[in-house]
Structure 1
């Protein structure tokens, strides 16, 4: 990736001189195994596993929290089933058995839609300030406290639900408020920790914890609800987040320069390969240039399109499994988790493949990001459309939904890494901006789904899947046309640019 002056961002201070090229030769690169940067990625992986478990557990627990016999139209109150029951469950009772004394509530479909989307109302508010502060001060505190705060609030969920749906809505919004800083803080940390030729795999590995957390939380929530009652779900998940926070505080540092256990070889490699772009940004930002940046707006729009289908399934798939396919709660949780089991390895492998293509110069960074984004948005849309034609076939529906979310993991090495390509120094702030817009579907999609599916019919759910598929296809087209992997001129400070030009002149003379 080159600037107009011929300099590359994959070298120190945007320079391609011989000294820096030596640092990036394979023999000089410290191995990733047991390295500080890999350990950081693994801790982030588990952190995002926890917060996504905290985020999605309500989706399954909602089936247990709602009174199945309520005449107002709760989740389980479908008198005329849209599809036949799965084999072996035709004569089974759909009422969920929980320990005696477990409370249930008469929330209708619309109320459940608002509750499932409530998290994102708070999540919207802290993305940008979290990214800005993490880019200036460092991301360790913000990511750690984001996870810890969300975990503590999760412990209060049964109390809030008992007080009423409005209290639960407020609590979930507050959880989102705390968790909103986590992804921007992650990107701000990787701006200082991820060598340019390892960005894709380190960022996708840490971010794939989200899919892994959803995969674990969905079936475990169903199991815990039946064995211990739904309140236990929130106590156990909240406790896991508090435990993770202890390890995070003890083992993580904001910068390779201040890490207590990193080798000098690895520290020098990271610092020299990232160069000046690994420094913290100041208080002032090139906001006007960002506002007018076509590559940045392309990321925003494409991420919004991708997130619509992702959040639709994340928040509403357990309801679909219950209302339309009529799986019992344990089967519901397991089958709802399958898409995220597939997404986890796909996203990790896409990061490895993207770095391989970039390192061997098979494609430019721009083309690599476009290829992975296009496939990661188009293929899920194809499988969502297939769901609409699967009818009441339980096997085909589960297969297509699983494939849709699984292949969506390909975009992890595309649009979701792109902020650090176009402006490494401001990556945390930019992720806050793009994630803020990308969270809007998390607020709107569950509400739209609630309106479409108010009568619990297969036709209503077909509308949900068609809308999600169409939005995905639009995002794929937009990113293919306007996406870029080149560092933007506004992301390079004047002193860096002058130094790069001087080095380039010296290299030409010699």
Structure 2
């Protein structure tokens, strides 16, 4: 007990010293990395979701007619007709089954490279693993129109490869921040990074529709692909794997980062697989991530369907309204990041408590508003408002369990993120399929069942995380007889 108290006193003294010697955030390399990473995740998610909009325009008139004139439960919202532009892009006779395979094929590639990405990033450095993963996605996005002309099978193959490229990104990003994020700024830096994902969705959904209308569907892939190429050039020239290898970082900032992290990182090249596999805090993260991503992927994939088939919104209205939840989520994410670090640094709340508070808000809060949305009937404004609040509250998870791998094992954060993402990809593959099978008739009662399932999983995940989650570095994650105490 005396040894533990001495360790806590040493840790508190160290944190007080770090607070007083923290390098300024303005014009710093670590915040520059956060902004460029935000741009990177913006690119990643525009390339992930743009196909869902472009696919509507890729179908021939028969399929479009079926799509646009299907009846909804609520009265349709009429919009003024827009002039028809003459497009030269090809269209295709793909049935609904083929469309489902095209949209879902991304996740079959995505699940394949999670652990590999974490391993490569920890072994060779995260910069090029992440950069090349995005570059692969960009290249095959630019090839999408050619693949579509060759046939649905080629397009499916292209989407699988894009998933393979994106599979390494989250694990590599976690590995990068393990070397760059001071513990007391961790939430702020990572929420800035991951906000790019929501912003990418916010921009891609409505903008893809406008690009399809004013140009044609092929330009959706060309324009977003070029934006991705620009990001890769900036990443290649401006980013380094660690503060020690960065050519432009100030000495003050380098010392601040390395000093704050030196008691958290392991210098051992051996990965403690057995300890990782039996870690209760890690399994708590896996469970809550799996449960929340069931809700996330269900809404990401089926919210446009709910808007159209139940609430009666047109495809054009759909893009704007479907983007609202992602916009709200990005704003909540940024606020949560700032607030969580304030609670830890200024109010001296333990990291464990802070992570659990924001995870409860992001899961149980999100689930409650989702269930409420199922009982709004044809009250369009209230339904959209509740769905937006539900998804927005999910942004609080960015300061909760979503970055908890860096708390419990910063040296192996990429590996842990890869394991977590592998499990969390499963809901993306099966959740929407199950949800769609339960809503064959698109009745309110059917959708209420879908929302109840998602909310129940959120509650279950939160309970497991509150019971077993931790916010301190685990003993197996360092190669010295020391572990950071909360």
Whole-Å Cα distance in 2 between the matches of residues 290 and 351 of structure 1?
Answer: 27
Q: Secondary structure of 1:25's match?
A: helix
Q: Which residue is 2:469 aligned to?
A: 483
Q: Secondary structure of 1:277's match?
A: coil
What per-residue deviation string (whole Å, max 9, x for no partner) do you get for residues 396-441 of structure 1? Answer: 2211111111110001101011101111111111111111111111
**Cα 1:81–1:136 shift into 2, 3 Å:** same
Q: Secondary structure of 1:417's match?
A: helix
Please state if 1:497 is matched with 2:468.
no
Alignment match of 1:383 (pick from 353, 369, 379): 369
Alignment match of 1:82 (pick from 73, 81, 89): 73
Q: Secondary structure of 2:62's match?
A: coil
Q: Which residue is 1:434 aligned to?
A: 420
Whole-Å Cα distance in 2 between the matches of residues 365 and 69 of structure 1?
Answer: 56
Alignment match of 1:24 (pick from 18, 29, 45): 18
Please state if 1:291 is matched with 2:277.
yes
Q: What is the CA-CA distance between 1:321 and the residue it aligns to?
A: 2.4
Unmatched segments (≥5 aa) in structure 2: none
What per-residue deviation string (whole Å, max 9, x for no partner) do you get for residues 165-196 of structure 1? Answer: 33222211110100111111111011111111
Please state if 1:48 is matched with 2:35.
no
What per-residue deviation string (whole Å, max 9, x for no partner) do you get for residues 316-375 of structure 1? Answer: 222332333333333211111111111112111111111111113442111111111011
Q: Which residue is 1:344 aligned to?
A: 330
Question: What's the C-alpha RMSD, in Å, of the aligned pairs?
Answer: 2.6
**Cα 1:404–1:209 shift into 2, 3 Å:** same
Q: Which residue is 2:393 aligned to?
A: 407
- The total of aligned residue pairs comes to 484
Q: Which residue is 1:417 aligned to?
A: 403
Q: TM-score, normalised by structure 2?
A: 0.93
Alignment match of 1:195 (pick from 177, 182, 185): 182
CA contact (8 A) 2:290 2:423 kept: yes
**Cα 1:384–1:270 shift into 2, 3 Å:** same
Q: What is the CA-CA distance between 1:109 and the residue it aligns to?
A: 4.0
Whole-Å Cα distance in 1 between the matches of residues 107 and 26 of structure 2?
Answer: 36
Please state if 1:7 is matched with 2:7.
yes
CA contact (8 A) 1:215 1:341 kept: yes
Q: What is the CA-CA distance between 1:486 and the residue it aligns to?
A: 2.0
Alignment match of 1:134 (pick from 115, 118, 121): 121
CA contact (8 A) 2:126 2:176 kept: yes
Q: TM-score, normalised by structure 1?
A: 0.89
Q: Which residue is 1:327 aligned to?
A: 313
Whole-Å Cα distance in 1 between the matches of residues 96 and 51 of structure 2?
Answer: 14
Unmatched segments (≥5 aa) in structure 1: 505-510
**Cα 1:172–1:6 shift into 2, 3 Å:** farther
Of 470-479 and 192-201, more deviation after overlay is shown by 470-479
CA contact (8 A) 2:266 2:477 kept: no
Q: What is the CA-CA distance between 1:25 and the residue it aligns to?
A: 2.9
**Cα 1:313–1:66 shift into 2, 3 Å:** farther
Whole-Å Cα distance in 2 between the matches of residues 167 and 428 of structure 1?
Answer: 32
Alignment match of 1:234 (pick from 221, 224, 229): 221
Of 262-271 and 357-366, more deviation after overlay is shown by 357-366
CA contact (8 A) 1:134 1:185 kept: yes
The 5 Å alignment of 1:36-185 reads 36-67=29-60, 69-70=62-63, 75-76=67-68, 78=70, 80-86=71-77, 88-89=78-79, 99-185=86-172
Whole-Å Cα distance in 2 between the matches of residues 179 and 378 of structure 1?
Answer: 29
Please state if 1:314 is matched with 2:290.
no
Q: What is the CA-CA distance between 1:59 and the residue it aligns to?
A: 2.0
Whole-Å Cα distance in 1 between the matches of residues 296 and 216 of structure 2?
Answer: 28
